[in-house]
């Protein structure tokens, strides 16, 4: 009797908890194409994934009360290597984090350690493959001596319905890892911290389909809308802005910037006021991210003036500009209060 009760309990527990179906979430490596956003970063890099991390199995929810199991580090490693190869000229895999010989032999400037956090779900009570999948990818980057340089984090999302995953049970997972790697490719390639002089990257105009448009002065009494190319979000201790000086605003994804008219400023060729020529200045408006942008601007030597002003309507996507005492200007685009550098 006791044995039969024990067996019944095991069966009931198995039904309630479901089982873990093994899947492979390796993205389509052909989708990890060449970086066409910026010029390559002329630095050799190495990456390190500890063996116990590489073979670590992760279990997350599927549908019908079941679960799925996979090895995220093993599954994305090949595509991760290719992604790095599109940003840097040479990529080395380290056997140990302190592999001095390999670091020296390959003239490694940066060491990259990836961290992956995944999750999955499905509302279906009848099928187990996940219909939604998320992959958060963080790249912790140090120099060859182990000093922190940058921590870049992106979130990839993937979805697949029954007609899609019936041919590939891991479809949503593969799409999520692909999405994360493509976002990381852009995040690394546009990070000024990874370039020798700390400058913002130069857009590859021959490859990019987006036109570069500077934010110009308002020349009439009506709001003027410009298409400004904004860099992707790279998370590093919150919000990051970058120093720009007299160059067009360039980056990855276009965002509409409406410059509002303000009081006319009359200037002559010698700098004196002139009532014949009118140039419209941009009205200073404080936004929800102004204070944060101003604090971070100090790290780049930008202080003084009125501070960081909002030059677009308030909303989920905002653009800020800050005039520095040294004559230069900071620009930042903020999405849901997460800001990225603009140049």
C-alpha pair distances (Å), 290 with each of 223, 239, 286, 295:
22, 11, 6, 9
Please, which residues bridge with residue 253 across strands?
Answer: 230
Secondary structure of residue 201 in the 3-state scheme:
coil
Structural domain tally of the chain? Answer: 2
* 87 vs 241, more confident: 87
Give the residue numbers spanning the domain of 308.
224-341
Does 219 map to a domain? Answer: no
Do 48 and 169 lie in one domain? The reply is yes
Instruction: Report the CATH number at residue 115.
Output: 3.40.50
pLDDT for 331: 76
**Residue 210, in any domain of the structure:** no
**Distance (Å, rounded) from C-alpha 72 to C-alpha 332?**
33
Do 169 and 44 belong to one domain? Answer: yes
Closest C-alpha to 318, from 277, 343, 286, 273: 286
Structural domain includes residue 213: no
Among residues 151, 176, 194, which one ends one of the domains? 194
Domain annotation covers residue 285: yes
CA 337 remoteness from chain centre: 14
Q: Which of 194, 213, 246 is the last residue of a domain?
A: 194
pLDDT band at 10 (very low <50, low <70, confident <90, very high): very low
Tens of pLDDT along 22-81?
999 999 988 887 766 667 899 999 999 999 999 999 999 998 889 999 999 999 999 999
Q: Does the residue 200 lie in any domain?
A: no
Mean of pLDDT over the chain: 74
Which residue is listed with tokens 């020349």?
219
Shared domain for 23 and 158, answered yes or no, is yes
Does the residue 5 lie in any domain?
no
Which alpha helices (DSSP H) does the chain contain, by range? 2-17, 51-54, 72-87, 100-105, 162-165, 171-189, 290-297
pTM of the full structure:
0.56
> Are 166 and 229 within one domain?
no
pLDDT for res 223: 42
8-17, 122-131, 316-325 — which one is most confidently predicted on average?
122-131
Look at residue 275 in the predicted model and tell me its pLDDT: 46
Over residues 269-307, the pLDDT tens digits come to 444 444 444 444 456 788 888 887 887 777 777 887 788
Q: Which of 34-38, 118-122, 135-139 has the lowest mean pLDDT?
A: 34-38
35 and 156 share one domain: yes
Q: Are residues 190 and 243 in the same domain?
A: no
User: Are both 328 and 247 inside the same structural domain?
Assistant: yes
- Please check the confidence at residue 323 and state whether its pLDDT lies above 80: yes
| Residue where a domain terminates, one of 194, 212, 233 | 194
Report yes or no on 217 lying in a domain.
no
Same domain, 265 and 315: yes
Same domain, 65 and 186: yes
Q: Which two tokens stand for residue 109?
A: 């400037």
Query: What's the pLDDT at 248?
Result: 34
Please check whether residue 89 lies inside any domain of the structure: yes
């Amino acid at each position: 009797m006791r044995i039969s009760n024990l067996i019944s309990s095991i069966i009931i527990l198995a039904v309630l908890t479901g089982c873990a179906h093994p899947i492979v979430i390796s993205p389509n490596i052909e989708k990890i194409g060449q970086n066409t956003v910026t010029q390559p970063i002329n630095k050799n890099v190495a990456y390190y994934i500890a063996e116990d991390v590489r073979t670590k199995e992760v279990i997350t929810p599927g549908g019908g009360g079941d679960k799925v199991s996979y090895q995220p580090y093993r599954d994305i490693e090949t595509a991760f290597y290719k992604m790095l190869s599109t940003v840097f000229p040479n990529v080395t895999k380290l056997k140990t984090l302190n592999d001095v010989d390999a670091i020296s032999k390959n003239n490694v400037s940066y060491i990259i350690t990836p961290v992956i956090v995944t999750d999955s779900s499905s509302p279906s009570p009848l099928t187990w493959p996940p219909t939604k999948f998320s992959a958060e990818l963080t790249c912790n980057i140090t120099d060859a001596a182990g000093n922190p340089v940058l921590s870049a984090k992106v979130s990839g999302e993937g979805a697949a319905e029954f007609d899609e995953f019936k041919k590939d049970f891991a479809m949503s997972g593969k799409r999520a890892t692909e999405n994360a790697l493509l976002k990381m490719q852009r995040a690394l390639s546009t990070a000024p911290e990874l370039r020798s002089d700390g400058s913002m990257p130069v857009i590859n105009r021959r490859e990019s389909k987006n036109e570069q448009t500077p934010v110009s002065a308002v020349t009439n009494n009506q709001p003027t809308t410009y298409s400004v190319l904004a860099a992707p979000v790279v998370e590093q201790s919150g919000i990051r802005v970058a120093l720009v000086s007299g160059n067009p605003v360039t980056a990855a994804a276009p965002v509409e910037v409406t410059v509002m008219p303000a009081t006319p400023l009359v200037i002559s060729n010698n700098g004196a006021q002139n009532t014949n020529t009118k140039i419209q200045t941009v009205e200073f408006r404080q936004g929800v991210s102004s204070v944060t942008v101003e604090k971070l601007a100090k790290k780049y030597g930008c202080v003084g003036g009125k501070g960081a002003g909002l030059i677009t309507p308030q909303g989920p996507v905002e653009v800020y500009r800050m005039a520095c005492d040294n004559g230069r200007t900071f620009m930042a685009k903020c999405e849901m209060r997460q800001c990225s550098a603009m140049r």
